Structure 1
Amino acid sequence: MKAQVAPILLFSASIHCLGFNFAYESLQLTNDHILDFTAIQFGNASSAPKTYQGPRCKYQPGDPSWPSTSEWASLNASLNGHLLKPEPPGSACYPGPKYDADTCAFLVGPARATRFFLDDPLTSLVTWGEGATCLPMLNTTGRTCAQGGFPVYVVNASSVRDIQTAVNFARNRDIRLVIKNTGHDFIAKSTGRGSLSIWTHFLKGMEFLANYSTGEYVGAAARVSAGIEAWEAYNAMAIAGNFTVVVPLDPSVGYGGGWTLGGGHGPLASLYGLGADQVLSMNIVTAEGRFVTADLNQNRDLFFALRGGGGGTFGIVTSMMVKAWPKRTDISGVTYYFTTGPGQSTMSDSRGYPAVPPIHIPDPEVFWRAYRIYLTFADEIVNAGGFGFGDVTPQGPAGTTTYLFASTITIPGMSASSTKKFLDPLFSSYRAAGINLSTPDPATVLYAQRGAGVTPNSFPGASSDRLLITRLLPRRLWANNASEQLAAVAEVNRASAELGYRVTTRAYAPTAAAAGYPGDGAVNPAMRDMVVHCVTVKREAVDVLAPRELLVEHARLSARVDELRRLTPGGGAYFNEADRLEPGFQQSFWGKHYDRLLAVKRAVDPWGLFWVPTGVGSEDWEVVKAEGEMPTQDGPLCRIGGV
């Protein structure tokens, strides 16, 4: 299944004078390739109608205008055989010609500890967003398997030419187009019923450059391909030994794709900014099918939009040039736990730091007092360039008073002894609150730890496959005169936990100063003024729910987060961890940048080719679902208000 890819390279003394970063980018579509197949001819945004003139709905299988079998065969020939028509993996669990008991047992068991789902051309790790139309289950009684919200065809891209060919075909034939890398996607932007998918997963390449200059930037850099995942970047840094780049925390997240385009937070966010802040240039295929470079010297509006404006919206990134630091980065930190339930001797996730045994707190009031202490200390963490986790998980059904608080605090570039001194005030406050806990001895670990790209979130139905809503908590909550407001936030989170929701906090602050050059990106302004990224999560899997039940569960969750929204007027939310029904998403995700982003979108993509839920310009289209159902990707994509 793997397409031919570029190797992961490690080091180069200086940048090569090329118009592309990797060999696969030199293979481009030319007019000679389209002489016998005009369905893949290029578009021209400047001459396209200013108002949309296409069909109301993107064509679906069975429509009279759906491409014929011979047209798909011609497309496959133009793609050198890289066109796939895959079945949902879960089809092995359902009665019919694809049923295979052994394969089904593998899917619901051992496959979860492998890269099977990450390397599958269809799988989205958030199954409810696709429509949960073919769940891998041992007992499928009462359920069916259908293609549903999964793409019909997938282009296993091995070159820019493959991407250009697919873009042109989808645009010219009015077919829905989606883009997929790993499938890490909280609202299934990489799926779509009746769609053609461009799969960039196997475009692999990474190269460190000791000397690179562009505009005012002079320093180290790295070339990164579209298919590179965080674990591959960590491995490359570990082998090189003397370079650091900003990458996702979860090893299996697609670093070269949507993570960067939507913002991209990680362990170094308070120190160096977001993933989008690192970009010096991007190579992309536009909605016209053209291969262009966007940076501060050319295609500047597109360069602005791609750095935080959201993946799947403005074009398909094939590679990018990012800032690097010519040094190894170490991170010191601690992991500790509080629980109101029975004591536990070990915990499964300490993020690489020796975990202090969980402290049992019999009195729930003391537990929540400790939670408020952590929240109060969050601004100290981010001001030190750190990243903090502080997660409350109910340990029983709603209405119980058994909770677990799990926290990891990391400080890049700080020694273990300095980190302990830094944390002393926090743990002194805990002790003053009645918790017998000495300041733990921090450990120091490598930022770039080698791995194999398999994590607890690497399969459908994992902890990421949940309903969630995010809110960015602004710095003003931590001002001297705003302690009551912060206490009110803590009370809202407590009430959510008491109703059975998990409440996570990520303390990081990607300020404009941390972001540095080149600045002027489309990152949500609320992220420049935040201290905590708060996420409220329904712990139970929802992919087994009917769409109407799913909408009811969403309404309950949204009612909880509405209280946080009221406490943070003018605040925002994080696009990469989005609520499918985020109210006023234009303001929540992009604030003052939205009008400019929308203008760029309509200029570069007048056909509405690139569409993702809650993305820039998404208000012009909708996935048609029955009234009263949660909007998933299992439905035709149609223009709102007709043609």
Structure 2
Amino acid sequence: MRGSLSLGLATSVVASIASAQSAAVSLGPAATTVTTSPSAAPPYFSGEAVQLTDEVLVKVAAALKNETLSRVFAFGATNGTSAAVNGSRHSCKVLPGDAAWPAGSTWSIFDQLLGGSLIKPAPLAAYCYPDWPQYDADKCSDITTDWFDGYFQSSDPASIMLPLYEGRTCMPTGYNWTTTCTQGAYPAYVVNASTAAEVQLAVNFARNQNLRLVVKNTGHDFNGKASGKGALSIWTHNLKDKAFYPSFEADNGYSGPAVKLGTGVQAYEAYEFAKESSVTVIGGEGATVGVAGGYTFGGGHSPLSSLYGMAADQVLALEVVLPDGRFITATSKQNSDVFWMLRGGGGSTIGVVTSLTVRAYPKLPTTTVTFNYTISDAPSVNAFWASIGAYLDNFERLVDAGSYGYYYLGASSLEFGTSYAGDTDYYFRMESLVAPNMTIAETKTLLQPWYDALDALNISYTPWYNHADNLHVLHTHYRKVLTDWSSHDVWEVAFPLESVGSDVVKTASRLLPRSVFEAEELRNQTLLAHKDAIEKQGLFIAGFHITGTGLAIEPPTDNAVLPAWRDALAHVIVGSEWNFTSSWDTVYDWTLFVTEWMDVMRGIAPDSGAYMSEGDLLEPNLQEAFYGSNYPRLYELKQQYDPTGLFFALTAVGAEGWEVQTTDPLPYSWNNNGRLCPK
């Protein structure tokens, strides 16, 4: 096996630890409260002030009375010189059952030092399987009912939004392709982090024990970055602190209102807080997405991107635990390399962020528009497809006005996805068009040329307009509907809660630049690609008219956002579907087909790229597509700060040096259900 574990030294370490633990060890949390706040960022949240320091580790060593055991929790060497306890910078990560896997007593000491925040999770659907001790038929029924709910999935310490990428190993009754439940790529242990010290300990423990480390905020990731077979997971979901600063002076020269968010804050929570503070913050359209997690670190597109740019553009300061376990503040002047990398260079790459400080904007009156039509609302098939062409013809004008549109296109009587190749139940759904800083009348004027084209084609459609004096009013109304179904909720219609938890979809994406929409021939090729995907291939499309260059602000030149975002006018996601009971052979075929079909879109925009957070795991020329010209510097920093490869995720910076030796009948690195080894 390539990169096999150095078992001799590792076994001796385990033996030494076991010997040291022959007498009972009683420890309290390994932490101290730091009273000095960072100079270039808002004060620490209370949990961030609780930190692991050299002085604390000296006390831990004195209590343990064993140098080998103490080193398990020690900081790494700084500036790219750290190495794991087993002495190997590049070896396979250990799995449960390996000789080098930490003994139960080691995990017990780790938990004591954490203050009791260590969890040994079972898969969420284990309640449905009689051979699991968690089996409970009533709970299984509840889990099955709630399985596709984002709030439900994000509140579990181990579950992820797309279980295809953990191996489909434990799905609830009715959604399972087998009759078994195994741990798969759900983590072996989880640290429920509430302090910086707990994150630091987890980082040190994983690095020094050569464990695979993953980070879960909400698990809302298109490629399952929060999963990993045998991994130790850091669960940041409960870092929910929020603070508003009416006036903040940032190192990058920004002066104005700012909001500091714990990394577990989700979109609906950020929007509620912004509304209470009478400001606007940038976040995704999905209510359950973690704003301060991989969303922002991967760039983060938003209903306000055409006005204010990407989520990564808003970041003023970050609090980060680095791969060596040290807790730092990163700004444009302090730890500036880390600051640059984390604003657009992707999550699960160079550290664990506990909070970030972002720009806040004034309250923004906003109009949203929702409408749909099907083939039954068109006089002919040709008229239907001509209507899609009319939308594409208006992309440049709509984006340049600062608006954002989220549309679905497919063939299904359910008006969701595409049922099968050749289905003629075509539908178009404008999930929501967002017109910031516009009244309903102004929005109607903006859309009138598009409407005129639809009217000329005799398309029947009925736009539904909603307006509020603050965009976040539209967002936060969504939460009310969860407990008061009698209310008529504008946000539910504008941005209904997206379904998660399914293992029956594979997607790929492409950014289409302005040049595509300026040239009639390229617009026509884009229309033909949409038509081919739906009519002939059995695919579906979820797309956006959007750009990463906001009208209202100059985009930063000092972050790692994919350059293709700055010239984009469209973000097009193409997907395939199969059944819950489909075999791995079917998954393999459809997965490969989507990647290959996307060559059509890549051919239309060969010099563009793809949004890493909603991209294809098998994207050709992945580093160029997801990171563009930033990749060489990103890779250099990755090797400098994380030479042992502690932080790994499929598609992340440096991932090409590793492989997941997948145990499912798939090629290596097609999901996270396997041992992680260097290539």
Relative to the length of structure 1, the TM-score reads 0.89
After superposition, where does 1:143-292 map in structure 2 within 5 Å?
A: 143-214=179-250, 215-240=252-277, 242-292=278-328
Q: Aligned partners of 2:388, 2:576: CA distance in 1, in Å?
A: 20
Matched with 1:330 is 365
Equivalent position amino acid for 2:559 in 1: G
1:433 aligned partner: 457
Match of 1:7 in 2: none
Aligned-partner residue type, residue 67 of structure 1? P
Q: Does 1:536 align with 2:553?
A: no
Amino acid aligned to 2:409: V
Deviation at 1:459, TM superposition (A): 4.4
CA contact (8 A) 1:179 1:198 kept: yes
Relative to structure 1, is the Cα distance of residues 25 and 49 closer, same or farther in structure 2, using a 3 angstrom cutoff?
Answer: closer
Distance in 1 between residues matched to 2:88 and 2:121, nearest whole Å: 32
Describe the superposition over 1:130-153 as per-residue Cα deviations: whole angstroms up to 9, x where unpaired.
111111114868421111101000
Letter in 2 for 1:94: Y
Distance 1:301 1:513, change over 3 A: farther
When residues 219 and 541 of structure 1 are mapped into structure 2, their CA distance, relative to the original with a 3 A threshold, is: farther
CA displacement at 1:513 relative to structure 2: 6.1
Task: Tell me the CA shift for residue 248 of structure 1.
Answer: 1.2
Distance (whole Å) between structure 2 residues aligned to residue 139 and residue 437 of structure 1: 35
Partner of residue 124, structure 2: 89
Aligned partner of 2:72 in structure 1 is: 39
Contact preservation (8 Å) 2:40, 2:331: no
- What's 1:619 paired with? 656
Query: Match for residue 503 of structure 1?
Result: 541
Q: Kindly tell me: are residues 419 and 92 of structure 1, through their superposed partners in 2, closer, same or farther at Cα, counting changes over 3 Å?
A: same
Question: 136-145 vs 420-429, which deviates more?
Answer: 136-145
Question: What value does the CA root-mean-square deviation take over the aligned residues?
Answer: 2.3
Decide whether the 8 Å contact of 2:90 with 2:645 is kept in 1: no
Q: Deviations over 1:178-212 (max 9, x none)?
A: 00011101110001001000000000111111111
Aligned to 1:379: 396
Look up the SS of the partner of 1:108 in the other structure: helix
Once the two structures are TM-superposed, the CA of residue 18 in structure 1 deviates from its matched residue by 7.0
The CA deviation at 1:84 is 0.4
Question: Using the alignment, how far apart are the partners of 1:513 and 1:232 within structure 2?
Answer: 26
TM-score by length of 2: 0.84
Unmatched 5+ stretches in structure 2: 1-28, 30-37, 65-69, 413-418, 483-495
Question: Could you tell me whether the CA contact under 8 Å between 1:220 and 1:323 is conserved in 2?
Answer: yes
Residue type of the partner of 1:488?
Q
Measure how far apart 1:538 and its partner are.
1.4
Give the C-alpha shift of residue 20 in structure 1: 4.1
Give distance in 2, aligned partners of 1:435 and 1:139.
Answer: 38
| 1:65-89 Cα shifts (integer Å, max 9, x gaps) | 1111111001001100000001112
CA distance in 2 between counterparts of 1:638 and 1:582 reads 21
**SS of equivalent residue, structure 1 residue 409:** strand
Q: Which residue of 1 aligns with 2:52?
A: 29
Matched, 1:466 2:502: no
In structure 2, the partner of 1:584 is: 621
Report the CA distance between 1:114 and its aligned residue. Answer: 7.9
Following superposition, the deviation at residue 510 of structure 1 comes to 1.4
1:557 aligns with 2:594: yes
The question of whether the paired residues in 2 share the 8 Å contact of 1:274 and 1:515 is answered with no
Report if aligned partners of 1:260, 1:308 keep a CA contact under 8 Å in 2. Answer: yes
**In the TM superposition, what are the counterparts of 1:400-479 in structure 2 within 5 Å?**
400-407=423-430, 408-435=432-459, 440=463, 442-445=465-468, 446-449=470-473, 450=476, 451-452=478-479, 456-457=497-498, 459-461=500-502, 466-479=505-518
1:437–1:79: structure 2 CA closer, same or farther, 3 Å change rule?
Answer: closer
Distance of 1:460 and 1:281 partners within structure 2: 33
| Aligned mates of 2:152, 2:465 — CA distance in 1 | 36
Deviation at 1:632, TM superposition (A): 1.0
Query: One-letter code of the match for 1:532?
Result: A
Query: Structure 1 residue 633 and structure 2 residue 672: aligned?
Result: yes
Q: Shift of residue 435 of structure 1?
A: 2.8
Indicate conservation of the 8 Å contact 2:78/2:324, yes or no: yes
Aligned amino acid, residue 498 of structure 2: N
Whether the 8 Å CA contact 1:178–1:611 is kept in 2: the answer is yes
For residue 105 of structure 2, the aligned residue among 40, 48, 70 is 70
Distance 2:450 2:47 in 1: 51
- In 1, Cα distance between equivalents of 2:441 and 2:190: 52
**Corresponding residue pairs, total:** 601
Classify 1:515/1:41 alpha carbon distance in 2 versus 1 (closer, same or farther; 3 Å).
Answer: farther
- 2:384 corresponds in structure 1 to 367
Question: CA distance change for structure 1 residues 114 and 435 in 2, over 3 Å: closer, same or farther?
Answer: closer
Once residues 87 and 496 of structure 1 are traced to their aligned partners in structure 2, the CA distance between those partners, rounded to angstroms, is 39
Supply the AA of the counterpart residue of 2:631: Y
1:437-482 deviation per Cα after TM superposition (whole angstroms, max 9, x unaligned): 68x57431341132439764364128xx621001001110122xx1
> For the residues of structure 2 that align with 1:421 and 1:204, how far apart are their CA atoms?
41
Once residues 499 and 46 of structure 2 are traced to their aligned partners in structure 1, the CA distance between those partners, rounded to angstroms, is 29
**Structure 1 residue 113: Cα displacement:** 5.3
Distance 1:133 1:340 in 2: 39
Q: 1:530 to 1:290 in 2, by over 3 A?
A: same
Distance 1:456 1:204 in 2: 21
Bigger mean CA deviation after superposition, 452-461 or 218-227? 452-461
Pair 1:105 & 2:138 matched: no
Change beyond 3 A, Cα 1:264–1:284: same
Q: 1:338–1:367: 8 Å Cα contact kept in structure 2?
A: no
Does structure 1 residue 317 correspond to structure 2 residue 340? no
With over 3 angstroms needed to count, the CA separation of the structure-2 counterparts of 1:17 and 1:591, relative to structure 1, is closer
How has the CA–CA distance of structure 1 residues 18 and 552 changed in structure 2, closer, same or farther, with 3 Å as cutoff?
closer
Change (3 A) 1:405 1:161: same
Q: Which residue among 130, 138, 141 is the counterpart of 2:166?
A: 130
2:115 paired residue number: 80
| Structure 2 residue matching 1:527: 3-state secondary structure | helix
- List aligned pairs for 1:556-575, cutoff 5 A: 556-575=593-612
Give the whole-Å Cα distance in 2 for the aligned partners of 1:91 and 1:565.
Answer: 41
Taking the aligned partners of 1:441 and 1:550, their CA distance within structure 2 comes to 38
Residues 394-450 of structure 1: CA distance to partner in whole angstroms, max 9, x if unpaired?
114321222110113221001111111111111112222333568x57431341132
Q: State yes or no: 1:522 paired with 2:546.
A: no
Q: Which stretch shifts more, 306-315 or 422-431?
A: 422-431
Report how far residue 559 of structure 1 moved: 2.3
TM superposition shift of 1:45 = 3.4
Q: Which residue matches 1:117?
A: 153
**Contact 1:57 1:637 (C-alpha < 8 Å) held by counterparts:** yes
1:623 match: secondary structure:
strand
Could you tell me which runs of 5 or more consecutive residues in structure 1 were left unpaired when the two chains were aligned: 5-14, 342-359
Query: Does 2:374 match 1:339?
Result: yes
Counterpart AA for 2:547: A
Q: Confirm or deny: 8 A CA contact 2:146 2:152 kept in the other structure.
A: no
Residue type of the partner of 1:23? S
Q: 1:398 aligns with which of 412, 416, 421?
A: 421
